[in-house]
A = this chain, B = another copy of it.
Amino acid sequence: MFKRILIANRGEIALRVIRTAREMDVECVAIYSEPDASSLHTRFAELAYPLGGKTPAESYLDVEKVLRAAKETGAEAIHPGYGFLSENADFARRVEAAGLVWIGPPADAIVAMGDKIGSRQLMGKAGVPIVPGLSEPVADVAESIAAANEIGYPIALKASAGGGGKGIRIVREESEMEAAFRNASAEALTSFGDGRMYPERYLEKPRHIEIQVMFDRHGNGVHLGERECSIQRRHQKLVEECPSPIVTPEMRAAMGKAAIDAAQAVGYRGAGTVEFLVSKGEFFFLEMNTRLQVEHPITEMVTGRDLVRDQLRVAYGEKLGYTQDDVKMTGWSIEVRINAEDPTNNFLPSTGTIGNLRFPGGPWVRLDSALYPGLEVGLNYDPMLAKLIVWGPDRDTAIRRMRRALEELNVGGISTGAPAALRVLNEKPFIDGDYDTHFLESLDLKQDSRNLGAVAAAAACVHRWHLARRRALQPDAGSRAGWIDRARRITSDF
């Protein structure tokens, strides 16, 4: 195994890698920007290398600095985490050119999967299901009907030149096509000067479900089941669960096979995630994330496998050492991302200095957190500060456990999305497992669902009353001298 690796990242994911590496007797080199000198990843790594710089561009994204850090600390490999340089194929190539091991997939696989349109066409050729539709636009009703019969209803007619949802029409059967095409095309012509339309299968109640895969260098690969990530807003996930409440063993096998096919089509190696859109029991390739995913812990909890450990092992050249049959999913796991954001104000980012922390604990509660008192949360870095993960023998228990854990959590100094997650976990559609990617945005998150507003008002006013009382009891001018004398005494211990 590696003796020493460098982690080209920060925050909770750097910490995540450090933890497993430490358990494997692999030393970690943390790199850190100026604002991160006190960070947990800097403190908990065996070695820490200052990159200097305040912004990501001056530090974690500076390829030269990162490579120099690896060289000067004698690291043998680089783990990129997620974000930053993790899906940068040039960086992967530079790492290998420097004689280091890249703990990630081959650069070519990153490139192949990095192109949204190209990767879908590639996947289509590899036999992985993609959303049915044409690669060329249609110009009139007749062509549109012909295409629709091939694709299958319902159809989404999208303006060829359009964007932002403008000009989209949902067509549920052939009889609706003519009117829909004429209206949409006219609208598109007016708006964009181009009336051509793309017909594509319309996915009703779409769910975002992804498959975790792991491949070694020796041609062995498995999938580790799915993760359901449909609780999101603007494509930012908030709550994830594993398994998905709608995936049957047969569907899991089919999606797993598709994910393995997708990975093999690009010569994959290491940990990766194949994302699908699922609608009415059908699944369609969306994209592949060629790195460890934020939400990987829920797969770990359910499969009992440490994915970072597997990443290090296969990067070092070890055989995977287990087969698809060895992958067993036991129980249910849920993750909530603790982001610095304000769910009552459209999830706008929240900044401040972290304090007043109260962490949840007890049975089957896991916290992957970069939080510490004094952490300055600004805008330079990812607002994802921690991940709260629970496991339970069944979905009902996992939901109840997550609610309980969220009630125990407090993060002071900023606002987080945790109350929105708690709200989701109490909503009937979520409890029933009957939700899609639009669900979170459909909720009014300003609502006081616990009905404790009056208690909060009373407590806040009592707080103010105590503050005022304390001020009133502070020493006045006459007694101030004695007060200072006392302060002098206390500090005279040195």
Interface residues of A (CB under 8 A from B): 15-16, 19-20, 22-25, 44, 297, 300, 304-306, 330-331, 358-359, 361-369, 372, 393, 397, 400-401, 403-404, 407-408, 464, 467-468, 471, 474, 480, 484, 491-492, 494
Task: Please name 8 further chain A to chain B contacts, defined as beta carbons within 8 Å, in addition to the given A24-B400, A474-B491, sorted by A numbering.
Answer: A16-B362, A16-B363, A44-B408, A297-B363, A300-B363, A304-B393, A361-B366, A361-B369
State which of B305, B330, B364, B491 has its C-beta within 8 Å of the C-beta of A366. Answer: B364
A363 touches B366 (CB 8 A): yes
CA distance A468 to B397 in the complex (A): 54
Q: Which residue of B lies closest to A474 (CB)?
A: B491
Q: Which residues of B contact A408 (CB under 8 A)?
A: 44
CA distance A15 to B358 in the complex (A): 14
Q: Contacts A19-B363, A359-B359; is A494 near B480 (CB within 8 Å)?
A: no
Of all chain B residues, the one with the shortest Cβ separation from A371 is B361
Name the one of B44, B304, B367, B471 contacting A491, with C-beta atoms under 8 angstroms: B471
Q: Which residues of B contact A369 (CB under 8 A)?
A: 361
CA distance A16 to B358 in the complex (A): 16
For A304, give its contact among B331, B400, B492 (CB under 8 Å): B331
In the assembled complex, which residues on chain B have CB atoms less than 8 Å from the CB atom of A366? 361-366
What's the minimum C-beta distance from A343 to chain B, rounded to whole angstroms?
23
- Is the beta-carbon distance between A480 and B491 smaller than 8 angstroms? no
A407 contacts across to B, CB distance below 8 A = 22
**Minimum distance in angstroms from A89 CB to a CB of chain B:** 29
Q: Name which of A305, A359, A407 has the most chain B CB atoms within 10 A of its CB.
A: A359
Residue from B359, B363, B480 in contact with A306 in the complex, judged by beta carbons closer than 8 Å:
B363
CB contacts (< 8 Å) of A304 on chain B: these are: 330-331, 393
Contact of A494 among B15, B44, B297, B471 (CB under 8 A): B471
Minimum Cβ distance to chain B for residue A245 (Å): 19
Taking CB as reference atom, which chain B residue is nearest A472? B494
Contacts of A468 in B (CB 8 A): 494
Q: Which residue of chain B has its CB nearest to the CB of A365?
A: B366
Best-buried of A372, A467, A494 by chain B (most CB within 10 Å): A494
Whether B362 contacts A400 by the Cβ 8 Å rule is no
Contact (Cβ within 8 A) A480 B474 = no
9 of the cross-chain contacts (CB-CB < 8 Å) are: A15-B362, A16-B363, A22-B404, A23-B400, A25-B400, A359-B361, A361-B367, A362-B366, A471-B494
A403 / chain B contacts, CB cutoff of 8 Å: 23
Residues of chain B contacted by A16 (CB below 8 angstroms): 362-363
Smallest Cβ-Cβ distance to A331: which chain B residue? B304
- A19 B471 Cβ-Cβ under 8 A: no
User: Do A363 and B20 touch across chains, with their CB atoms under 8 A apart?
Assistant: yes
Collect the chain B residues with CB atoms within 8 Å of residue A15's CB: 362
Contact residue among B23, B359, B364 (Cβ-Cβ distance under 8 Å from A401): B23
Minimum C-beta distance from A425 to chain B (A)? 12
- A24 neighbours in B (Cβ, 8 Å): 400
Q: Which partner residue on chain B sits nearest A483 by CB separation?
A: B484
**Chain B residues positioned under 8 Å from A44 (CB to CB):** 408
B471 and A480 contact, CB distance less than 8 A: no
CB distance from A402 to the nearest CB of B (A): 9
CA distance A183 to B425 in the complex (A): 73
Residues of B within 8 A of A372 (CB): 358
Cα-based distance from A24 to B404 in the complex (angstroms): 10
CB distance from A455 to the nearest CB of B (A): 14
- A494 and chain B: residue at smallest CB distance: B468
